[in-house]
Structure 1
Amino acid sequence: MISTEKIKEIKQALNRIKSNELFVRSSTYSVLLNYLVKKAIAGEDLKEYTIGVDLFGENYKNDKNDGTVRSKMYKLRKKLSKYYETDGKEELLIFDIEKGQYNLSFLSADEYFKSKHGKTKTVTIPIKYIKLLLGVILLSLISFFVIKTIVSKPNFIWEQYFEKTADNLLIISDQFIVYEKLEDGKMYGISYPEINNYNDFIKYTQEHPEKELKPTDYTLMSKMAPFTVNTLSKWFEFNKKDFDLKLESKLKYEDIQNNNILFVGQYKTMNLTKSLFLQNSKVFTTFGDGFKYKNDSNEKVYNTKFGNNLKVEYAMVSYTTLNNGKSALYFVSNNDIGVMATVNKFTNNKWLAEFKQQLPSKSKHFNALFEVSGMQRNDVSCKLVELEALKN
């Protein structure tokens, strides 16, 4: 059984051979070599007829009069031998095919040299290369410890979440669903924007007595939920921490009191968290299907736009401290892609370091508005359009 690391080494060696001029202009021999390497990795025992049928068609004759395979194998051995005598003389892994055989073997340079000349190949390394190698090793060790120190230290946004004693709660927005009896007399699951919790349900039924409604035992989540949970799970696992998970519709006040909060989802389905989101902002408010930015000199509206040639949505990332001293980090958009794109951004150490440079030196908390545009909207097309630094 060949190890994964060995297979990787074999494929790298194969690519070097196939890119050599001996094989670039001879596609037949590149295909044949590729086939032999694949079969050798799989441990299959090859025969002339098997190669003939696989590579030269179903009509390949199973007799000694059809010498196509033998001819191709002979020329392939010649090409490999010439390669290892010229451009490939420094190769450490050798592809070897014994005369009269069809199976390819993987040999070390010493094994190959010994089989051909009866003695081990001697390699002399100039002293300047030894010095260079030692220098590279030293630099690698220094880089390793520097990178380890940087990676092991959590980014300023995540410090409190990754403390050893931290309790973290990820809140996923979900849509409250009710059963409604329609004209055909059947009950159907339906969502109303006015109903986001049981209290809303009671109020709505009182205002609309003509409708026959009752609560369901399930809620609705969009595709944003599994994608962001997956991304954040990997991020927390990498930093040796975890979090609990709760749906917005099931959230209680004590959940917020006892945990650092992460929220991902839509503003329009917010319930208890709505009173906390953007509470410290001086310039941002939710507006329609997006957000409004207003300061002393101007006012801007950032609303979702969908058309044949234009798709733009906005996502707010808000990082603040709650009254209990716990951290709260919100990823909010009324569309899936905005939430997914910003979560990807804020779980990337390199991007986070660049983002921090845009904040005043003494500022730690913020409200940041991002635009995600284009037909194929993703975190690559996600750009910062407004930033508010908070004092707390």
Structure 2
Amino acid sequence: MTAVVDRIIASKSFGRSVTYANLLRYLVACSESGDPPKEVTIAADILGKHDFDSSQSSLVRVHIYKLRKKLAAYYAREGAAETIRLRIPKGSYAITYEGVTAPAAPPPETPPPAPMPDTARRRRSVYPVLLVTLVLGAVLTAWWYGRASHTPPAPPPFWVEIFESPRPKQLLIGDLLMYEDTLAAESITLRNGGVNSREEFDRYRSTEGDAGSRYRLLSYGLVMRNSTLDVKYLTELFTAYGSDFEIATMSRFNPRELAGHDLIVTGMLKTHGLFRTYFPRARLQLSGPDTLTLTQADGSRRTFTTSGDPDRRHTDYGLIRKTRGPNGTVIVVAGGLWDTASAQMVKTITQPTLLAELTAALETEFGTLPERFEVLYRVEGIDRMELRPELIWMGELDE
């Protein structure tokens, strides 16, 4: 079976990914030894994820899904004549071998019919030709439309690096930190607008309650309702370009995943965890739960603060950042001070018209689409829904 695996890995359809080549060899070896691997062993032995938790990450399932697609592509092209084919049944990581039945032999020839008069022969010969032409036309039409529907279009310039990257993609949704009062007669779940990270919670607890022991951090957070729109917009975008992504909340994010994932970070800026301070040289900084500060070219500072009632008419501010992370990963941040601008920023980078407007503005400002940049929007909203976004500042990010 080694020769079969080598043929598959060397094929053009399989591609040149060392990770997927190692994964295929690993699954074959485990299956032949009668010890089919589990998600956690694949994550540790092939992907280097020794603390992998399958309930929190679909990384292994994504790799297996893509491996199935590579095998299908091989057997549809270079391996079309293979009589024994490798399969990975759904719900399993074991390799199975399936035989392919050879085409049946053609039936024996029958003697030709007696000749007919020329007029009848000409009339009857028209019908098979016409039928073949119609069938062939229908087949070619179906093939063309099928090919068009299964070939993803070229992604917009903003997304090219992510969609052409072999790395897994992860959507990080900012969630609000929750804690409880342990001295209350009944358990009370609490939420504080000024406490949105573990450091802020520790600082708050040390100054409140019974010598800092009154409050206990909970293991879950609160996700805002507009986060469902983030998932919707990004799912539609990724599906259109033949890609997929994992979903995680910021409170459960492991910083070690920075080096192996392309990331899209969404939600209110105060819920962005380590990404609130991940860009120390950025000119836009979160300086309060509801305030952004811009350091202008002359060194002066300008602040942008939300105003109004988020449940009625109000003004919000949002930012979009794109930069590089460790090992060349791509990090896209789309968030707002409130969830109004947060949802609008995700909409801006996923909806074709809005994204084209942003791209054109950046190209006009800098002569080309910068590899690293940040932009600031003002968003007028009502009842936590956007009404009118306005791009008010653009700048390049230092490495």
The TM-score bracket by the shorter chain reads 0.5 to 0.7
State TM-score, norm by structure 1. Answer: 0.56
> Deviation per CA, 1:199-244, whole angstroms, max 9, x where unpaired?
6545544443515222333211111211111111111111111111
Larger radius of gyration: 1
Amino acid of the structure 2 residue aligned with 1:384? L
Distance 1:274 1:374, change over 3 A: closer
CA distance in 1, matches of 2:186, 2:386: 43
Q: 1:219 aligns with which of 215, 218, 221?
A: 221
CA distance in 2, matches of 1:201, 1:309: 30
* Residue 360 (structure 2) pairs with residue 357 (structure 1): yes
Shift of 1:312: 0.6
State TM-score, norm by structure 2. Answer: 0.55
Contact in 2 for aligned 1:345/1:379 (Cα 8 Å): no
Residue in 1 aligned with 2:382?
375
CA distance in 2, matches of 1:309, 1:196: 24
Shift of 1:279: 3.3
Please list, as runs of the form range in 1=range in 2, the aligned pairs for 1:1-392 lying within 5 A after superposition.
152-163=153-164, 165-181=166-182, 185-193=185-193, 195-198=195-198, 201-210=201-210, 212-276=214-278, 278-281=279-282, 283-288=283-288, 289-297=290-298, 298-306=300-308, 311-359=314-362, 360-362=366-368, 363-375=370-382, 378=385, 381-390=388-397
Contact in 2 for aligned 1:316/1:370 (Cα 8 Å): yes
CA distance in 2, matches of 1:151, 1:370: 31
- Aligned identity (percent) is 18
Shift of 1:354: 2.8
Partner SS, residue 154 of structure 1: coil
Partner SS, residue 386 of structure 1: strand
Distance 1:374 1:332, change over 3 A: closer
> Deviation per CA, 1:70-90, whole angstroms, max 9, x where unpaired?
xxxxxxxxxxxxxxxxxxxxx
Q: In terms of mean alpha carbon deviation, does 223-232 or 350-359 score higher?
A: 350-359
Shift of 1:260: 0.7
CA distance in 2, matches of 1:391, 1:215: 36
CA distance in 1, matches of 2:385, 2:177: 28
Contact in 1 for aligned 2:205/2:215 (Cα 8 Å): yes
Amino acid of the structure 2 residue aligned with 1:285? Q
CA distance in 1, matches of 2:314, 2:202: 37
CA distance in 2, matches of 1:217, 1:309: 32
Amino acid of the structure 1 residue aligned with 2:191? S
Partner SS, residue 229 of structure 1: helix
Distance 1:338 1:309, change over 3 A: closer
What number of residue pairs does the alignment pair up?
A: 243
> Deviation per CA, 1:146-197, whole angstroms, max 9, x where unpaired?
x99x9811112211221262311111111121110465x1110002345445
Amino acid of the structure 1 residue aligned with 2:287? F
CA distance in 1, matches of 2:384, 2:216: 38
Contact in 1 for aligned 2:152/2:240 (Cα 8 Å): no
Contact in 2 for aligned 1:160/1:166 (Cα 8 Å): no
CA distance in 2, matches of 1:374, 1:191: 24
Shift of 1:324: 2.3
CA distance in 1, matches of 2:169, 2:177: 24
Partner SS, residue 352 of structure 1: helix
CA distance in 1, matches of 2:357, 2:179: 45
Distance 1:158 1:178, change over 3 A: same
CA-based RMSD: 2.9
Distance 1:374 1:340, change over 3 A: closer
Shift of 1:259: 0.6
> Deviation per CA, 1:354-386, whole angstroms, max 9, x where unpaired?
322222124232111011114367555111011
CA distance in 2, matches of 1:322, 1:168: 13
Distance 1:233 1:374, change over 3 A: closer
Contact in 1 for aligned 2:314/2:380 (Cα 8 Å): yes
Gaps of at least 5 residues in structure 1 are 1-143
Gaps of at least 5 residues in structure 2 are 1-144
Partner SS, residue 179 of structure 2: strand
> Deviation per CA, 1:50-80, whole angstroms, max 9, x where unpaired?
xxxxxxxxxxxxxxxxxxxxxxxxxxxxxxx
Partner SS, residue 231 of structure 1: helix
Amino acid of the structure 2 residue aligned with 1:386? W
Shift of 1:294: 2.6
